[in-house]
Amino acid sequence: MPDSYSALIKDELLREEADFSSLRGRSISVLTAAGALVTLISAVVAAASGAAELALPTGARIAVVLSLVAFIVAAVLTLIINKPRDLVRPDVADLVDLAGQRWADEHAAQNTAALQVKEIEALRIANKSCAQLLNEAIILEVLGIGLIGVSAAITVLALP
């Protein structure tokens, strides 16, 4: 029976580590998109401000500014997701102790499982935080895209 518990705990640890990596990877995609959209919007605004006939109506300007803010905040959230985190890991001294004096201990599997459960707990806390920030970043990107659409609509409607 302890072997099945051990396998379950090991599988859970692998899943949590995979989720952690996946969340960080997806956040990089959000960051890339936000950066590209900020750059594109900035270029369009620069071009529009250089041409008098392309002056944006006030409502469109507000929408552009709000979209830029949304994209920038989304980018900041993804950077927070990717900042180094202090995850609970077994101390090297504990590992040395387990590998040395306690290797033949009758409770070795249980001690290993206890260390892995601590790692699972830390990863679940980190994953929950990362998932929440990623969700907020995606919502802000959707908002930013919607605001760019509003800006374009206002601009088109203001044309003679």
CB-neighbour burial class of residue 19 (10 A; exposed 0-12, middle 13-18, buried 19+): middle
Count CB-CB contacts under 10 A for residue 141: 22
- Could you tell me the residue range of the domain that residue 130 belongs to? 2-158
Rounded Cα gap, residues 136 and 80, in angstroms? 12
CA dist 39 and 29 (Å) reads 15
pLDDT of 129 reads: 92
- Structural domain count of the chain: 1
- Predicted model pTM: 0.74
3-state secondary structure of 89: coil
Give residue-wise pLDDT tens across range 6-50: 888 888 889 989 998 999 898 999 889 888 888 888 777 767 666
Are 51 and 18 within 8 A, CB to CB?
Answer: no
